[in-house]
């Protein structure tokens, strides 16, 4: 693997955004994803290789650490920031079609619920995994999910809830998506939900952490 690609993966893993970023302290003064991504493109490294062997590998590593409780939300957010800073330089290649996305993932926190940290982590991890993410935000009603799924045939859907009171809305949204578009795969996550609830409401998969969601999505397109 090219040395610069491994450096990009390390910067994503440890949350090194750019040269002036003070975090992490042991990488102070070194280039971050911002500079290294531009340098890799100048050296003629394919954007798809930067994405798959740099960003995806880095996010995968930090995602595994997160699911093993070796790092926590602040480190995940720094990694996500480093990744999105580098991704800016790859966006033109997504638009031109030179870099293929694995698929489309529609994501939102369900109606009545305004919590977004969990959803945002999933969004960043999935985007870092090479997917196009359509983030509908918080307090999203079933009509909005159904309408968005119709606009993106073949997409997968993620629902997040952090309150026991909004779990009922999750059930309603799953039913409405499945009624309108029965083949749509729906993933659920959030503190109060679990595998049993997932089965009960007819969703396809439950993940306790962002890494599990990424692995499930990747299996769906393997």
What was the pLDDT predicted at 190?
93
Cβ atoms within 10 Å of 39's Cβ, excluding its own? 15
Mean pLDDT of the chain: 94
Band (pLDDT 50/70/90 cuts) for residue 94 is confident
Count H helices and E strands in the chain, helices first: 11, 5
The larger pLDDT score, comparing residue 81 to residue 1, is at 81
pLDDT at residue 1 tops 70: no
Residue closest to 157 by CA, chosen among 215, 109, 99: 109
Interval 5-20 mean pLDDT: 97
C-alpha distances in Å from residue 98, one per residue of 52, 86, 90, 93, 94? 13, 17, 10, 5, 6
What was the pLDDT predicted at 121?
87
Tokens for 173, please give them. Answer: 């949204």
Instruction: Kindly list the structural domains of the chain, giving each domain's residue range(s) and its CATH number in brackets, ordered by start.
Output: 3-96 (1.10.1240.10), 104-221 (3.40.50.280)
What was the pLDDT predicted at 13?
96
Interval 149-167 mean pLDDT: 96
* 36-40, 45-49, 171-175, 176-180: least confidently modelled range: 45-49
Residue closest to 133 by CA, chosen among 171, 87, 89, 164: 87
Q: How many residues does the chain have?
A: 222
What was the pLDDT predicted at 14?
97
Band (pLDDT 50/70/90 cuts) for residue 178 is very high
d(C-alpha 33, C-alpha 19), whole Å? 9
193 and 202 Cβ atoms separated by less than 8 Å: no
Burial class (CB in 10 A: 0-12, 13-18, 19+), 7: buried
What was the pLDDT predicted at 100?
87
């Amino acid at each position: 693997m090219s040395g610069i690609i491994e450096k990009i993966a390390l910067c994503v893993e440890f949350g090194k955004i750019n040269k002036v970023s003070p975090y992490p302290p042991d990488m102070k003064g070194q280039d971050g994803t911002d500079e290294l991504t531009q340098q890799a493109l100048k050296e003629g490294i394919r954007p798809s290789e930067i994405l798959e062997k740099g960003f995806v590998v880095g996010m995968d590593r930090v995602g595994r650490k997160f699911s093993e409780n070796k790092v926590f939300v602040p480190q995940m957010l720094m990694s996500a920031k480093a990744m999105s800073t580098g991704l800016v330089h790859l966006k033109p290649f997504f638009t031109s079609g030179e870099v293929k996305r694995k698929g489309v993932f529609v994501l939102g926190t369900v109606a009545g619920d305004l919590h977004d940290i969990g959803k945002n982590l999933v969004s960043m991890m999935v985007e870092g995994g090479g997917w196009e993410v359509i983030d509908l935000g918080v307090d999203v009603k079933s009509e909005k999910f159904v309408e968005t799924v119709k606009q993106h045939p073949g997409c997968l859907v993620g629902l997040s809830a952090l309150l026991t009171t909004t779990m009922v809305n999750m059930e309603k949204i799953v039913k409405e998506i499945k009624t309108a578009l029965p083949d749509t795969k729906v993933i659920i996550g959030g503190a109060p939900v679990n595998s049993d609830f997932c089965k009960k409401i007819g969703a396809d998969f439950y993940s306790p952490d962002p890494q599990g969601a990424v692995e499930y999505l990747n299996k769906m397109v393997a």
